[in-house]
Chain A
């Protein structure tokens, strides 16, 4: 289900698939529209699946860290159907809007939060031939769109007409603003190394070297501290512990989500897991080779540069890498205590930002030196 090579058009792979299939009497714009519709459907389904799997994974990971089993009964094998059961329960809950809440904002907030993650998923590169939108500024778009989740969170906190929610929202706004900067600046290091904003090209630039040794962290060792800074900033962006203040369970009951229940609450949670997945994808693509792995190296060595098998291997690789990142985030959540808000801000502004800037300088120096040595 992909084209034979990256085309010059910036349409997506589904469009190129549908075009030859469309009957002649169908106008061109309708085919395009259908392609967009199908892509959106696939993205929605993907996010739903990712969120569902992440819920199950979180419950199992947290359980085993806490020396217990977690879900075991629903569905038989290790409770895999517990997510379906949860989803069904949440859908059946009463749709409550608290008295005095700003109804429009209250309803809009979860939708906005989920929509921004949906939008960011458009840049997700499964394989060189299979993508939703070929964007030359992929990472830029991702960073921009994921920032809009903050608006949704602040809306949720304000519209809930509860002081505790307001606290959560204010903390979220402060935290996200503080950590956007190190997030972006630390990403500049691999951007310099790989030379491109596009996620597809970034992955491809890490090909070779047995599928491992051309990863960005090996191409430019400054990428390693840059990854650490990126990871910390990503934890803060996705509101995961140790930065889960906006949602601080033991302090603010549930922070900005306190007044939400049922399917609206589950939107917030889908957004959280989708954002975790997204940040892991970005980390995988820019630091750890994207869809390059020993398997793809072997395939490339045997001349297989496209086709279904190659695409599948790439897709599996990147999804596995992303889920390892998600697992790492969960592991950190269940181990570390929460950082206080003023300590969060101090760390973001006073330590991570200057450090990130320094790393960019060092990365630039390394790149110049490395290029000079090569020539």
Chain B
């Protein structure tokens, strides 16, 4: 199914937390709109992400058995939201779906998707340590790539590199 069909199907079955879609559009000089290329995204509500993913996984027409990627993005230092980005893949129907959720930087908490996909476990750990996002219900919220005592969240746009780490200079 292509993106429009998936979107319509999700609306039809009343998937929880579906907020809308963000589709690519050509540039519009008159409206000073640079346009957007690339992939279409479904906007979802981060708080209801687990229910939404359950629907995606279990619905026979969608059957997104594979969580290809779950990551986050910090679009700008002055933007007040993180983006939580998921990418689902269906082996049976051979289609992909990209999801985007907006997470307020003031309180970056959302439920963990490990209940739905075990694949989320390590990816969420990486998001958590890189952005400071808390995944509620995560079975093992330790740092994965960074040392256990690392201070700060490196992939945030306003991150400042430390001057030294355990006596080793980082200049």
A and B touch in the complex (CB under 8 A): no
B-contacting residues of A (Cβ < 8 Å)? none
A-contacting residues of B (Cβ < 8 Å)? none
